[in-house]
Structure 1
Amino acid sequence: MFDVQIQQLPGNKDLPLPDKMSAGASGFDLQAAVTESCWVEPGAWELIPTGIALAMPVGLEAQIRPRSGLALKHGISLTNSPGTIDADYRGEIKVILLNLGQEPFRIERGDRIAQLVFQQIPNVSLTSVQQLDDTTRGSGGFGHTGK
């Protein structure tokens, strides 16, 4: 179990802390901490504050992911999905909402706008080499196996 500290930033005590909506949920729902309602026009994106900051131990990251219901019903996603929050970041968590739908999308204070999922990060060491070992795939990339 990892201990993650959460701070409600000034002016946001009226919003509940992120919470999981079911016992088996992976993500904590993040809420919009906008001071007044705002709109995300089709094809546009907006930076939405959440009113919280985190302190995580080294070896952990938080990922911001879209909410499936908003994606299905309104075409709402994130421009950088998943967004990464590093263990040493202490600023306010903000979400870049992207409207891929056909209608403007309204955001009100307290709306659930994204999910916060925690992931353990392995300790990795990169070793410089002159040549990599060969595999069957080799350098086959985008679309190399067909449609």
Structure 2
Amino acid sequence: MSMPEPGAAAPDFTLPRDGGGTIALSDLKGKPVVLYFYPKDDTPGCTKEAIAFTDHASAFESAGAVVIGVSKDSVKKHDKFRDKHGLSVILASDEESDTCERYGTWVEKNMYGKTYMGIQRATFLIGADGQIARVWPKVKVPGHAEEVLEAVRSL
């Protein structure tokens, strides 16, 4: 599936989250949501990205936004990742990759000549109205959290 475009309704989801329980997009209506997809817990780029979003957590909160990171890692792995790096963003587990597919981030990747399926690093800014306000496909980590924060503030 291709990525939903700005102006489209954000696909709903309910996913298990770090610390137990679930997180559902429908429960967050009325607030902007930063939904970022990343390949794997505790790998260099993903760790930097999660730490950057955590470093700006209070600024996102002041802007009224909820930040959710999604990967296929289990809740148990998310808990370890969170505790190891002192992360404060919500980490949602999409082990079946259903949500990744609906957001078009479950893609064919190529490394060292081998083709495999994996998560494309991408971020979606969902407005308080439940519509996609902005999409960052193929995210480069440095400066990304700051750029997303600016976008949240300009909603």
Is the structural similarity TM-score above 0.5? no
Between structures 1 and 2, the one with greater strand share: 1
TM-score, scaled to structure 2: 0.24
TM-score, scaled to structure 1: 0.25
Between structures 1 and 2, the one with greater helix share: 2
